[in-house]
Chains A and B, each alone.
Chain A
Amino acid sequence: MTAGGDGARRVRLASLLLRPFLGAADARATAEELDELRAARGGWGGEAFFWHAVAGYPMRVALEWVRDTSPGRGGMDGVWRDVGFGARSLARSPGFTVMTVVILAVSMGAATAIFSVVRGVLLDPLPYHEPDRLVAVWVRGNDGARARMTPGNVTDVRSLNGVFASVAAYQGSSAALGTDEGSTFVRGGAVTPEYFRTLGVEPLVGRDFRPEEGVADGPSVVMLGAALWRRAFGADAGIVGRTVDLNGDPFLVVGVAPSGVYPTTISVSTEIPFTTSNQDYFLPLQFTDELWNLRRPHIVGTVARLAPGVESTEAAAALATLTDRLHARGDNDGESLILNPFVEEVVGDMRFALLTLFATVGLVLLIAVVNVGALFVLRGEDRGSEIDVRVALGAPWSRLARQFLAESLLVAVAASLGAFLVARASIGLMRGLVPYQIPRLDDVGVDAVAMAATLSIGLAVALAFGLLPAWRIVRVRRDRQARGHTAGRYQSRLHGAVVALQAGLGVVVLVGAMLFARSFSALSSVELGFTSLDAWVIPISGSGGRIVEIVERIRGIPGVRSAARTYDHPLERDWGDSFLIRGRPLASREDTPYGSLRPFGEGYFETAGIRVVEGRVPDAVDFGGDARYAVVNESLRDRYFHEGGVLGATIDVPSAARNFGEDRGSYTIVGVVEDVRFLGPEAPSEPAFYLPLSHFPVSAATVLVRPIERDVDLVLSIRQAVREVAPGAAIQSMRTLQDELDDRLARPRFNMMLLISFATIGLVLSGLGAYGLVGRVVVARTREIGVRMALGADRRRVARSVLWGALLPVLIGGGVGIAAAAVLVRGLRSLLFEISPGDPVSFAASALFILGVGALAALVPTLRAVAVDPARTLRSD
């Protein structure tokens, strides 16, 4: 008996596999007993014995069950007799049985798993009250890009009568949570008091925010997120009424929010980050009345619940009218208010990826079904003489048909059982492996409807293929009566059709897989516009305004090449704003220049590795002086300064002037830097302007540190330096820009991996199926070949004709497949990066591959057939 973890795992897995057949207790005991026998044998032999023995149980138990339920041992009759016959006949060809059951179980299981996820995620995605009545409201900039709302816009939307039942605004927030063991970095949101009521979620413990808590200088209250509550406070309901320390200040805990209150840190154009890490806590948003009327900057996200009876199209129309009114009044700089169903926000780009996955799995299921069909057909043919003999001995054909049917039903039942296990395992696997958050994936189990759907496919397959041999009997008898020979022509035509189908389906999945692989390779090789992938991104909270000192201290650490403060790091885009070019009057409000606004600290471009292409970037002297300098990127220069002359031009930033004073509103452009893909390789570059943090006073607490060489001591020194300068400060994490980039690529990479793995399964199945059948077709003609050669036909000519005959179905199927793929993949455009759905390389390679498999499959048996002495071929018949 082995006591190690390996042995325990083996026993656990075996008992799990045996459970459906033996029950929990006996499965466990049996698994352990087999492990004893395994240990007695030892080594790999023991291992092989163990699994072989485990595999033996289901069939024995099934046979026992058949034997048990058949009425009377001497006179097994009717259905049970047929089932018993089927079971025995399956047990006699374990290769066929295992192959069909495994192929069906894997493909049906995978389809069920994906279908379950699609249903759970796409059809019922939000744990909110009537989620389809929720909409997100956005500003659409005059460049067409989406932006968050200005506080003034929220007030505008609230003023609409009878359109929305409630309108809530929210912002991201981060803080240092003081605990007995020091500070930890926590992330959450600041929300208006009606936020939770708008979503329709109830606090787990305590209460929701009150209206009087959402005003300027209101009380310091906080709602904890469920995850932080469990993590840091042991899910103690007594926390309500006590205070917690955020950034050194006491906050009264009034309640605990449930998990799944997702969108507190919506970023403008990327998807909502569905991590629980941004739901640590919620504060009431405490704006002054003055701030609620500001039309700059775009700082709040907005979610609204439609008023009873109002459709989202009506609400959209009301927003359009409001937009016109604002424009007429001279507000909003040509920007419009738009809405988007909340469900779309949450599952938006997940939908297409999941549906594509679903389609791929469906295709694989189809291939599997065709394959299993082919296996049944071949088996039927192999048993042709058995059938003929039994028919000749007077067995009624209905009895034969029933027996074949029973056989395939047994396969279907076993496969369904396996499919359930596969589905359950796949969903678990997805939960563990998906590198991004799929909303509600944790709640998804094997869906009953999904299971029922695949089970009915399984049963249909069984019925269809069970009847094939029966049909053959009928045909054979008819043909024999009519012409007196066997159904050779029918047989070869059926083979041809199956081969063509295999080739066609194989081409379709292959083209899809090729497109995704090539798209991903293009994505991985995109120039990002910055080189310091080894630089750390260090968000620091609770530094109490000593961030500049912290940066200075970090710069002094040996091993640090450079360090800089910044608002956004290169793979982040949090803030878009409009600006005006001095001396250039606007033709219309819609033409207001717009770009990503990026406050930066001294040394930023050097630290991030962003190349200066024109002019210079502000240095230490500039940061200390009074002159206000700006740096723009190439996209901004190319869009707004066609005739050159970008250096020395002055831009005015109205929101800065309004928020920080008139003297902070104007900047002279001194340099142009390379474009950076802020939203990752998938998103195109956009105009951006960089303003020095010293002149553009926003609270920015992210420090970018580029090391000479990365090592652990340096990490410790940096943490030490931060603690020394500001003891209350918390470092959330030290991730490198490479980590951030990997995060961006994780999703397309995972989607690609998943699709390619499914496609590979499909391809292997269809390849094997086609290979086997093509060979079969040639072998079936061996006699004909012998006759032709005996009659003196040219060896090469015969070979060519046989080869051609075998390849024809591959050609036809492959051609139809290519045409079908050309239509089908057109829908994939939005999932592909810089690769057109009509990519000739993918199509050509796929076509050649299938043709190659077909040729190989035909060539080997053809050569063998023509090499054989014709006399022998004829004699052996």
Chain B
Amino acid sequence: MDRTVEEDSVDALGGFEHRVLLALVRLGGRAYSVPVVQELERVGGRKVAPAAVYVTLRRLEKRGMLTSEMVPTGDGEAGRPRRFFAVNEAASDALRAARADLESLWAGVEALEL
């Protein structure tokens, strides 16, 4: 699998990946998938498939933007483990780059009556 440097770079951030990453940042940079789903639904105002969020989080993890670990939550009873995802430097870079990218594209179109 020989991806080019470009493909692994920040502008490979897809639309939904972008949203998921932002939701995670809004949640303090570390959360498991339930709060992410809820945050996306709350802010976006429409239903989000949990499966889509899950595979996206795992994909971002694989691409090195997130780290994840199983964390026991709750009390006793085998700990009720959850997979927590945390953003790292690469994610911040990617988000910043995506924002800069979009902003540079937006520059000059303010005049449009949107």
Residues of A participating in the B interface, judged by any CB pair closer than 8 Å: 25-26, 28-30, 32-34, 36-37, 40, 53, 56-57, 59-61, 63-64, 68, 71-74
B1 interfacial by beta-carbon distance below 8 Å: yes
Top 10 nearest A-B pairs (CB, nearest first) are A56-B51, A60-B51, A57-B51, A64-B55, A60-B55, A33-B34, A53-B50, A36-B34, A56-B49, A29-B83
Q: What residues of chain A lie closer than 8 Å to B37, measured between beta carbons? A: 37
Q: What residues of chain A lie closer than 8 Å to B2, measured between beta carbons? A: 71-72
Q: What residues of chain A lie closer than 8 Å to B33, measured between beta carbons? A: 30, 33
In the docked arrangement, what's the CA distance between A59 and B80, Å?
A: 26
Chain A nearest Cβ from B55, distance in angstroms: 5
Which of B1, B52, B82 makes the CB contact (< 8 A) with A29? B82
Q: Is the CB of B1 within 8 A of A71?
A: yes
In the docked arrangement, what's the CA distance between A64 and B58, Å?
A: 10
In the docked arrangement, what's the CA distance between A258 and B82, Å?
A: 46
Q: Is the CB of A25 within 8 A of B70?
A: yes
Q: What residues of chain B lie closer than 8 Å to A59, measured between beta carbons? A: 51
In the docked arrangement, what's the CA distance between A30 and B51, Å?
A: 9
In the docked arrangement, what's the CA distance between A71 and B70, Å?
A: 30
Q: What residues of chain A lie closer than 8 Å to B70, measured between beta carbons? A: 25, 29
Which of A28, A30, A56 makes the CB contact (< 8 A) with B52? A56
Q: Is the CB of B54 within 8 A of A30?
A: yes
Q: What residues of chain B lie closer than 8 Å to A74, measured between beta carbons? A: 7
Chain A nearest Cβ from B53, distance in angstroms: 10
Chain B nearest Cβ from A8, distance in angstroms: 11
Q: Is the CB of B50 within 8 A of A34?
A: yes
In the docked arrangement, what's the CA distance between A307 and B78, Å?
A: 59
Within 8 A of A (CB), among B55-81: 55, 58-59, 62, 70, 80-81
B92 interfacial by beta-carbon distance below 8 Å: no
Which of B3, B50, B58, B62 makes the CB contact (< 8 A) with A72? B3
Chain A nearest Cβ from B1, distance in angstroms: 6
Q: Is the CB of A37 within 8 A of B55?
A: no
Q: What residues of chain B lie closer than 8 Å to A68, measured between beta carbons? A: 62
Whether A73 touches B1, Cβ cut-off 8 Å, given contacts A28-B81, A33-B34, is no
Q: Is the CB of B82 within 8 A of A33?
A: yes
Q: Is the CB of B50 within 8 A of A25?
A: no
Chain A nearest Cβ from B79, distance in angstroms: 10
Chain A nearest Cβ from B84, distance in angstroms: 10
In the docked arrangement, what's the CA distance between A59 and B54, Å?
A: 12
Chain A nearest Cβ from B75, distance in angstroms: 12
Q: Is the CB of A53 within 8 A of B51?
A: yes
In the docked arrangement, what's the CA distance between A57 and B53, Å?
A: 10
Residues of B participating in the A interface, judged by any CB pair closer than 8 Å: 1-3, 7, 12, 32-34, 37-38, 49-52, 54-55, 58-59, 62, 70, 80-83
Q: What residues of chain B lie closer than 8 Å to A37, measured between beta carbons? A: 34, 37-38, 50
Chain A nearest Cβ from B23, distance in angstroms: 15
Q: What residues of chain B lie closer than 8 Å to A73, measured between beta carbons? A: 3, 7, 12
Q: Is the CB of B7 within 8 A of A57?
A: no
Which of B1, B34, B54 makes the CB contact (< 8 A) with A60? B54
In the docked arrangement, what's the CA distance between A53 and B49, Å?
A: 7
Q: What residues of chain A lie closer than 8 Å to B3, measured between beta carbons? A: 72-73
Q: What residues of chain B lie closer than 8 Å to A40, measured between beta carbons? A: 38
Q: What residues of chain A lie closer than 8 Å to B49, measured between beta carbons? A: 53, 56, 60
Residue of B nearest to A26 (CB): B83
A sample of 11 inter-chain contacts (CB < 8 A) reads: A26-B83, A30-B33, A32-B80, A37-B38, A60-B52, A60-B54, A61-B51, A61-B55, A64-B59, A73-B3, A73-B12
Residue of A nearest to B71 (CB): A29
Q: Is the CB of A33 within 8 A of B51?
A: no
In the docked arrangement, what's the CA distance between A36 and B33, Å?
A: 11
Q: What residues of chain B lie closer than 8 Å to A72, measured between beta carbons? A: 1-3, 7
In the docked arrangement, what's the CA distance between A63 and B54, Å?
A: 13
In the docked arrangement, what's the CA distance between A63 and B52, Å?
A: 11
Chain A nearest Cβ from B6, distance in angstroms: 10
Whether A29 touches B50, Cβ cut-off 8 Å, given contacts A37-B37, A60-B55, A64-B55, is no
Q: What residues of chain B lie closer than 8 Å to A30, measured between beta carbons? A: 33, 50, 54
Chain B nearest Cβ from A74, distance in angstroms: 7
Chain A nearest Cβ from B86, distance in angstroms: 16
Q: Which of B33, B38, B50, B59 has the most CB of A within 10 A?
A: B50
Q: What residues of chain A lie closer than 8 Å to B58, measured between beta carbons? A: 64
In the docked arrangement, what's the CA distance between A74 and B38, Å?
A: 32
In the docked arrangement, what's the CA distance between A40 and B42, Å?
A: 13
Chain A nearest Cβ from B33, distance in angstroms: 6
Chain B nearest Cβ from A55, distance in angstroms: 9
In the docked arrangement, what's the CA distance between A26 and B70, Å?
A: 9
Chain B nearest Cβ from A135, distance in angstroms: 55
Q: Which of B34, B54, B83 has the most CB of A within 10 A?
A: B54
Give 10 A-B pairs besides A29-B32, A33-B34, A60-B54 with Cβ atoms closer than 8 angstroms: A32-B80, A33-B82, A37-B34, A37-B38, A60-B55, A64-B58, A71-B1, A72-B1, A72-B3, A73-B7
In the docked arrangement, what's the CA distance between A33 and B80, Å?
A: 10
Chain B nearest Cβ from A19, distance in angstroms: 14
Chain B nearest Cβ from A623, distance in angstroms: 68
Q: Which of B1, B3, B51, B80 has the most CB of A within 10 A?
A: B51
Chain B nearest Cβ from A12, distance in angstroms: 13
Which of B7, B32, B80, B81 makes the CB contact (< 8 A) with A25? B81
In the docked arrangement, what's the CA distance between A56 and B12, Å?
A: 25
Chain B nearest Cβ from A10, distance in angstroms: 15
Chain A nearest Cβ from B50, distance in angstroms: 5
Residue of A nearest to B82 (CB): A29
In the docked arrangement, what's the CA distance between A64 and B49, Å?
A: 15
Q: Is the CB of B81 within 8 A of A56?
A: no
Q: Which of A30, A68, A74 has the most CB of B within 10 A?
A: A30
Q: What residues of chain A lie closer than 8 Å to B32, measured between beta carbons? A: 29, 33
Q: What residues of chain B lie closer than 8 Å to A64, measured between beta carbons? A: 55, 58-59
In the docked arrangement, what's the CA distance between A340 and B21, Å?
A: 74
Chain A nearest Cβ from B78, distance in angstroms: 9
Chain A nearest Cβ from B68, distance in angstroms: 10
Chain B nearest Cβ from A871, distance in angstroms: 45
Chain B nearest Cβ from A75, distance in angstroms: 11
Q: Is the CB of A29 within 8 A of B7?
A: no
Q: What residues of chain B lie closer than 8 Å to A33, measured between beta carbons? A: 32-34, 50, 82
Q: Which of B33, B37, B38, B55 has the most CB of A within 10 A?
A: B55
Q: What residues of chain A lie closer than 8 Å to B1, measured between beta carbons? A: 71-72
Q: Which of B2, B12, B82 has the most CB of A within 10 A?
A: B82
In the docked arrangement, what's the CA distance between A143 and B39, Å?
A: 84
Chain A nearest Cβ from B9, distance in angstroms: 12
In the docked arrangement, what's the CA distance between A56 and B50, Å?
A: 8
Whether A29 touches B55, Cβ cut-off 8 Å, given contacts A40-B38, A56-B49, is no
Chain B nearest Cβ from A249, distance in angstroms: 52
Q: Is the CB of B34 within 8 A of A57?
A: no
Q: What residues of chain A lie closer than 8 Å to B52, measured between beta carbons? A: 56, 60
